Amino acid sequence: MKNKSAFFCQQCGFESPKWAGKCPSCGAWNSFVEEKVTKASNKNDVSDLWTEEKKETGKAKSIESIVAEEESRMLLPDEELNRTLGGGLVQGSVVLVAGEPGIGKSTLFLQCAMQWQGAKTLYVSGEESAHQIKMRAERVGVKNDNLYLLTATDTNVIFSEIKKLKPQWVIIDSIQTLESSSIESAPGSVSQVRECAAELQRFAKQTGTPVCIIGHITKDGNIAGPKILEHMVDTVLQFEGDRHYAYRILRTLKNRFGSTSELGIYEMTSQGMRGVTNPSEVLLTQHDEPLSGIAIAAAIEGLRPMMIEVQALASQAVYGTPQRTTNGFDLRRLQLLLAVLEKRGGFHFGMKDVFLNIAGGLKIEDPAIDLPIVCALLSSYEDNALPSNVCLVGEVGLSGEIRAVNRIEQRIAEAAKMGMDVIVIPKANAKGLDTKNFNIEIKLANKVSDVYQTFFG
């Protein structure tokens, strides 16, 4: 054995023989931490702990000789989780799930493991005791004899139990608590997280067993640990939402086997996480009377159309520089839309505080909600409410024109299903659109001034 010390960047995992003020890889300042690294004369092969046979040495093959086969997937009992994974859990895949403390990561996967009766599952916890996990499992109200709990942090112990049980699904809670005997450093350090993730990845690929890893996030909202952790896994999911509210959003950040624009919506209840199959019903607020500054948008996240409520407030600035505050929308995009209204429409937003909120805690990047945001701003500016049965969709250009958006048929169908009477769409989307197929009045708009004359003129 030979001990040595190395310096690792806490942001990206870059290794340096000496301390440096600025990381040459990611540019972060004061991010290097000294860690002790143990190098053995003969490297310990952890694959001996889960397999009896040595893996054959890889040989180069012609690409034409390789047969392309579709990945076999395992359908989970949670429809929202299947959607974010791209249609199910791929065998041999490694899934990383991160989120704020107390948002429901452990509850979601424990509940899914309890409901999956047909698969032998091993739930490894390095943060909680078996009694704490049992108390959480009792809230779900489902019994499962194929679910096994293991409270351990040493990877050698974990792989020894895996060799005995031969589970079909492994859940690790969490990667920051694991430690490998081949690295002499504290759990949660860059070298330990990297080595433990590498061992889990080798296990998943060699045995074909899917592994779900629960991870932490930093105060900046990034996934804790080295950046290489996200490159090593196949899928990265992030749990979003305020833990003081009931609704949670599971968003896909990376997926080698599916789309990265999918999301799942959950509601936190006393019995665990409940998937929301129709998010439009929970995202739309029912008002007794029309209120100014509110517009309904037909947005699409992934493959799912949904109706969301956009709330805007424009008030006279009394403290000098006007404020621009957004929740769930890009602040720079809001400033762009305000500049368009100032230049093309003559509305003096430069002396007003502007506040924008996407109801339900969603973060929307769909450019089709530009027109609803503009109408919500104009509604608050004029203090004139939009009709509650009107839905809007369209991207706003710098000249004040309304540009075409994709998948307009799905947006119109969702608006009609939610009981909307009128939908405003870009005029460019009218080509090839059969309006007789929809039970809703469709209005065409070419410029923002046309919409203003229709509702506020």
Query: In this structure, are 225 and 102 located in the same domain?
Result: yes
Tokens of 126: 């390095």
Task: Tell me, yes or no, whether 184 and 258 share the same domain.
Answer: yes
Does residue 392 lie in a domain region? yes
Residue 300, annotated as binding a ligand:
no
Instruction: For residue 37, give its domain range.
Output: 1-43
- More confident: 307 or 282: 307
Mean pLDDT of 17-38: 84
Amino acid code (one letter) for 165: L
> Looking at the structure, do residues 137 and 193 belong to the same domain, yes or no?
yes
Same domain, 299 and 265: no
- Among residues 294, 403, 271, 300, the alpha carbon closest in space to that of 359 is found at 294
Annotated ligand binding at 103? The verdict is yes
Is residue 67 in a domain? no
**What's the pLDDT band for 40 if we cut at 50, 70, 90?**
very low
Is residue 312 pLDDT above 90, yes or no? Answer: yes
Do both 87 and 174 map to the same domain? yes
| CATH at 255 | 3.40.50.300
- Top-ranked range on mean pLDDT: pick from 130-144, 207-221, 258-272, 402-416: 402-416
In a domain, 423, yes or no: yes
Reported confidence tier of residue 41, pLDDT bands at 50, 70, 90:
very low
Residue 387 is labelled as binding a ligand: no
**Does residue 360 form part of some domain?**
yes
Q: Strand 304-316 to strand 352-358: parallel, antiparallel, or no bridges (unpaired)?
A: antiparallel
Instruction: Give the mean pLDDT of the chain.
Output: 86
8-to-13, 229, 282 alpha-carbon distances in Å: 6, 14, 45
293 assigned ligand-binding residue: no
Q: Is 34 helix (H, G, I), strand (E, B) or coil?
A: strand
Looking at the structure, do residues 314 and 347 belong to the same domain, yes or no? yes
Q: What pLDDT is stored for residue 280 in this prediction?
A: 79
Q: Is 105 marked as a binding-site residue?
A: yes
pLDDT band at 50 (very low <50, low <70, confident <90, very high): low
Write the DSSP string, 206-257: HH---EEEEE-B-TTSSBSS-THHHHHSSEEEEEES-TTSSEEEEEEEEETT
Both 256 and 380 in one domain: the answer is no
Q: d(Cα 254, Cα 26) in Å, to the nearest integer?
A: 20
Angle between helix 190-207 and helix 155-165 axes, rounded to 10 deg = 20
More confident residue, 95 or 437: 95
Domain stops at, among 257, 277, 297: 277
In a domain, 49, yes or no: no
Is the residue at 55 inside a domain?
no
- In this prediction, residue 3 has a pLDDT band, given cuts at 50, 70 and 90, of low
The domain boundary, picked from 277, 310, 339, lies at 277
Q: Number of structural domains, the chain?
A: 3
Confidence of residue 127 (pLDDT cuts 50, 70, 90): confident
50: in domain? no
Q: Are residues 7 and 27 in the same domain?
A: yes
Q: Are residues 163 and 82 in the same domain?
A: yes
Shared-domain flag, residues 294 and 270: no
pTM beyond 0.85: no
Looking at residue 317, its amino acid is A
134 a known binding residue? no
Boundary (domain end) residue, out of 277, 300, 324: 277
Least confidently predicted of 2-6, 176-180, 336-340, 437-441: 2-6
Residues 224 and 353 both lie in one domain: no
Report the CATH number at residue 400.
3.30.230.10
Collapse the DSSP code of 449 into the 3-class scheme (helix H, G, I; strand E, B; otherwise coil) and give the result.
helix
Residues 232 and 349 placed together within one structural domain of the fold? no
In a domain, 59, yes or no: no
